[in-house]
Amino acid sequence: MVRSGGMTPSMMTIKNKLTTFAILAVCALASMLLMQGYTWQRAENLQRGLGVITDLTADVSRLHSLGQAFLLYHDQESLAAFEGYLPHFRHDIDMLEEMIGELGGEGGATQSLRDALKAYSDKFLHLVESTKRVGLTEEEGLRGEMRRAAHTVERAFASSTGGQLFNHLLMLRRHEKDFLSRHDGKYTERFENRYQELTAALQASALDEAQRSEIVRHLALYRDKFLQLVKEIRRQEMGNDSLTARFREADQVLEAKLAEHVGAIQQLFLETKERMKRVSLALTLLLSSLLVGGILYVARSIVSRILQATRAMELIAEGNADLSVSLPEDGNDEITRLSRAFNRFKRKLDRTVQQIMLVASELSVASQRAQNVTATTNSALEEQVQAIARLTDRVSDMSRTSREVKELIAGEVRIAEQVRKEAEAGRTVMGEALGSMDQLTREVTALGDTITSLAKHHESIGRVLDMIVVIAEQTNLLALNAAIESARAGEHGRGFAVVADEVRALSRRTAEATREIQGLIETIDTDSREAVARMTRGVEMSNLNLEQARAAGEAFGSIARAVDEIHTSSLHVEGIVTTQNTLAMDVNSTIHKINEKVAELSEMSRQNVSDNGDLSQYSVQLEALVASFTDQVAASGKTEIELF
């Protein structure tokens, strides 16, 4: 047996190995694709996170600009936009929280940002409420109330006091406006001092008590509204604990928290990106190592055993004729099945060589016998050539006789064809005569029917004439009665009597003409009846002639059919003779070919004698060649060789 140098036989087939490797490769590829998809998803999440951060920064800028627009210009649309934009900001914070969770960050990481946003929005809304209390315009809020109170005081001063008191009021209004424009506390003190001076001046004025009390009351109301406005403005803008300061502090805290989260999230994004790179690289290296190892293992297990089988087959192909070589049959893969098939082929080749030895010896004996048989066959072929020559002469005589018979039959066919044409012409003429007689019979019959119908019409005319005669007689009677009546009438009926005479004369002529017509009709009726009788006899004679003509036509038809049968038989005989002549020629040609083939066969027989001699020599050489296999097999005592 051929050994493989310590190679352990595999119990797995090559197909199973390749299938297993393909499954592993597909799994590795699927893992890489999943990892790639996961990486792309993470990268997309990172990109979305960066977009959310950008949106948050833009949200802060947007809220800041809307708040400043409201605080500076008291724009209600900016306030509505600010309040409407807060949910969008919170939604962006929710998206940022979701991104941080997907990236593995801590839950609630954006709570401080939410708190900062809430504090910012609350402080801004408090500032908005304070601004609305102060008044968005000069006519609204505390400013509007103070302004209306000031106008009331001005009207009271203008109608009741002198110029000195009104100047004090104008200075008081000036301090009010200075405070509103500059928000400085010294103007409040000046306002209060001027108020005290104005009150003292009122008390010292010459106004009556009622006017003074009314002005003091309005002035006190004006002062209260101003102080309320000052208090609200101080609460709103003045001092470190004002609403504006708190709002600015909340704004700074919001921006700081946003910057803090932006930095933390960017750091988280960078760490996540770096971690994904390391995991992808490690997984790629691991899967690549597994694939390369699998390829090397499968290639080594397949190629080494294929080389072993190839070496064993080369030993057979080199011509050493060592049939003792065999391959190992351990294992269950395709190469093992190849080894088993090779060993079966070797054993079958060994048996074939032994059989060839036997066949070679028998071939030598058979070739000798073939030489003897070939010589006998050669002499028999010579005799067959002579017999075929005699047969050729006799077939030539038969062919000449067939041609003469064919010429005689052809003459009979022409005569029969001429008779058939004449009979056909007679039958055609008779058919035309039959058609004419048949047409004549139909015409005569139609004429008889017409005359019979005419006789019937004569009877009708007779009845009409009888009626005319009766009418003429009645007319004559009526004319006679008319003449009698006209005679009775005397002179007045004379003209009518003339007409009656004319009518009677006309009636007489009508009766005479009718009798003449009736006589003519009776004569015509007699002639018609005689014509009908003659026509009837003519129809009977025509029918008899028609029957005789039809019998003659049938006789011509029988003659034509008989001639057709003779013509057909003659053509059939002519065809048979032609076929016989053709067959005779074919037989003659075939005999010539047989003669040629026999001559060739005789030559081949002589060649076979020479070939049989060569065959004997070849059988001797074959025995010597096969003997070389058997001698080497007998001389070889090995049953196994080492290939590697």
Domain for residue 483, yes or no?
Answer: yes
What pLDDT does residue 633 have? 47
> Are 24 and 294 within 8 A, CB to CB?
yes
Tell me the C-alpha distance between 189 and 174, whole Å. 13
Domain for residue 479, yes or no?
Answer: yes
What pLDDT does residue 637 have? 45
Domain for residue 417, yes or no?
Answer: yes
Angle (deg, nearest 10), helices 111-134 and 14-73: 20
What pLDDT does residue 224 have? 92
Split at pLDDT 50, 70, 90, the class of 639 is: very low
CATH code of 477's domain: 1.10.287.950
Domain for residue 41, yes or no?
Answer: no
Average pLDDT rounded to a whole number, residues 127-148 = 83
Average pLDDT rounded to a whole number, residues 392-397 = 70
Average pLDDT rounded to a whole number, residues 374-379 = 68
Domain for residue 158, yes or no?
Answer: no
What is the overall mean pLDDT for the chain?
74
Task: Return the minimum-mean-pLDDT range out of 14-23, 38-47, 214-223, 501-510.
Answer: 38-47
| 484 vs 44, residue with greater confidence | 484
What pLDDT does residue 3 have? 46
Tell me the C-alpha distance between 301 and 363, whole Å. 49
Average pLDDT rounded to a whole number, residues 62-72 = 79
Domain for residue 67, yes or no?
Answer: no
Task: Return the minimum-mean-pLDDT range out of 51-65, 208-222, 419-433, 466-480.
Answer: 419-433
Q: What is the pTM of this model?
A: 0.40
Tell me the C-alpha distance between 483 and 489, whole Å. 10
Tell me the C-alpha distance between 479 and 490, whole Å. 17
* SS3 of residue 327 by DSSP: coil
Domain for residue 203, yes or no?
Answer: no
| 624 vs 285, residue with greater confidence | 285
| 480 vs 353, residue with greater confidence | 480
What pLDDT does residue 561 have? 77
- DSSP of 76-107, one letter per residue? HHHHHHHHHHHHHHHHHHHHHHHHHHHTT--T
Each residue of 593-625: pLDDT tens digit? 776 776 776 677 667 666 666 666 666 666 666
Is the pLDDT confidence value at 180 over 50? yes
Each residue of 239-258: pLDDT tens digit? 667 778 888 888 888 788 87
The DSSP call for residue 3 is B
What pLDDT does residue 261 have? 74
Contacts of 600 (CB under 8 A, 6+ apart): none
Each residue of 76-124: pLDDT tens digit? 888 888 888 888 888 888 887 777 777 666 656 678 888 888 888 888 8
| Six-digit token string for 43 | 């990268």
**What is the residue range of 383's domain?**
364-613
Is the pLDDT confidence value at 209 over 80? yes
What are the angstrom distances between the C-alpha of 623 and each of 320, 472, 494, 627? 18, 150, 169, 6
Domain for residue 47, yes or no?
Answer: no
What pLDDT does residue 266 have? 73
Is the pLDDT confidence value at 186 over 70? yes
Split at pLDDT 50, 70, 90, the class of 9 is: low
Structural domain tally of the chain? Answer: 1
